[in-house]
Amino acid sequence: MKWTFPNILTLLRLVAAPGIVIMFLYFTRPWADWFALILFVTAAITDWFDGYLARTWKQETKLGAMLDPIADKAMVVIALLVITGYAGMDPWILLPATIIMFREVFVSGLREFLGDTAGTLKVTKLAKWKTTAQMVAIAVLFATGIFQHMWIERTVGMDRTILADILAGGDDPVGVRMIRDAYWYTWWIGVGLLWAAAILTILTGWDYLRKSMPYLKEPE
């Protein structure tokens, strides 16, 4: 195995994946949401950065090619599990998250069965868009959790009449309306991107299966 700087970045991203869960085990919200968001965005940036450096420095290795998709899948799957959990199993999130995770398991199993042949099936631009949509959707949904708990913190104990007046356009000294709007905008943008990622997941999964079919036929 050849350890290069891009490979080390990839390994750190893989190790960081379980850190998302740890944030919610050892920190209260919204601090857990903040830390998870920062960790996830940092890992997503290194996902682009390590590939760029490997190509630029001509340090592409078999180890990096093996670790990179594993790190990506670990980050996405673990983050989706956390988001699904704190969203209260909301079907708008649960269904696309299930589709995405099913596809990852299916394709991973298919790759394992194909063995060395899997290396001939190149990653398409559509698959890269799928990964990007997943990463952005998850980051936005972590932000939703932050605004949700900011809303709770600033409205708990507030008189309902005063709150209704603020939401109707009255004086808003603590920014309640802004937090409410930020919560709903990030929620719908995040859910929309997650569904877009799920659709791309189905398309790329089908494309991978179609390209694999010649290698799955029984010898005549």
Distance in angstroms (rounded) separating the CA atoms of residues 72 and 68: 6
Query: Which pLDDT score, from 0 to 100, does residue 200 have?
Result: 94
Query: Which pLDDT score, from 0 to 100, does residue 1 have?
Result: 60
Residue 44 to residues 91, 92, 139, 182, Cα–Cα distance (Å): 26, 24, 9, 23
Tell me if the bond preceding 30 is cis, omega within 30° of 0: yes
Domain boundaries, the chain: 5-214
Query: Which pLDDT score, from 0 to 100, does residue 196 have?
Result: 95
What pLDDT digit, counting tens, does each position of 72-82 carry?
Answer: 888 999 999 99
Report the predicted TM-score, pTM, of the whole model to 2 decimal places: 0.86
What pLDDT digit, counting tens, does each position of 54-64 carry?
Answer: 777 777 777 77
5-214 belongs to CATH 1.10.3470 = no
The token duo for 28 is 């209260």
Please calculate the CA angle 57-37-178 and round it to the nearest 5 degrees: 130
Task: Report the pLDDT averaged over residues 181-194.
Answer: 94
DSSP conformational letter for 158: -
